[in-house]
């Protein structure tokens, strides 16, 4: 049985395909947003980042997100989900997530 290695490019393209499916926008636009999500995750691994996204009710949410030093708090299955981006909210002191198509900006 052959095991596959997940590279950062495969994650970016999985996000892009999910964005195409959910929004119906062109692949080029979705790929640009997927690269922005990749850069966001990379920044969150080393620092706390101020992010903005649209909530399900349509309101704007600003959060301080990180993935640094939170490995001991993870309780999930570890199955990748390309429909959402999960982060640790430093203000709420807990894990949160948002749909990738609702991402607006990272400051």
What is the model's pTM?
Answer: 0.85
pLDDT the model gives residue 76: 73
pLDDT category at 4 given cuts 50, 70, 90 is low
Least trusted range by pLDDT, from 9-13, 64-68, 80-84, 102-106? 80-84
- Whose structure tokens read 């969150």? 44
pLDDT computed for residue 62 by the predictor: 96
**pLDDT above 70 (res 3):** no
CA distances in angstroms from 20 to 31, 56, 92, listed in the order given = 9, 19, 31
């Amino acid at each position: 049985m052959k095991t596959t290695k997940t590279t950062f490019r495969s994650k970016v393209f999985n996000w892009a395909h999910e964005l195409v499916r959910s929004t119906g926008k062109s692949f080029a636009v979705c790929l640009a947003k997927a690269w922005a999500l990749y850069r966001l995750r990379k920044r969150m691994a080393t620092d706390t980042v101020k992010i903005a996204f649209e909530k399900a009710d349509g309101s704007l949410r600003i959060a301080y997100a990180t993935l640094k030093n939170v490995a001991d708090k993870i309780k999930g299955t570890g199955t990748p989900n390309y429909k959402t981006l999960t982060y640790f909210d430093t203000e709420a002191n807990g894990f949160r997530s948002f749909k990738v198509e609702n991402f607006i900006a990272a400051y």
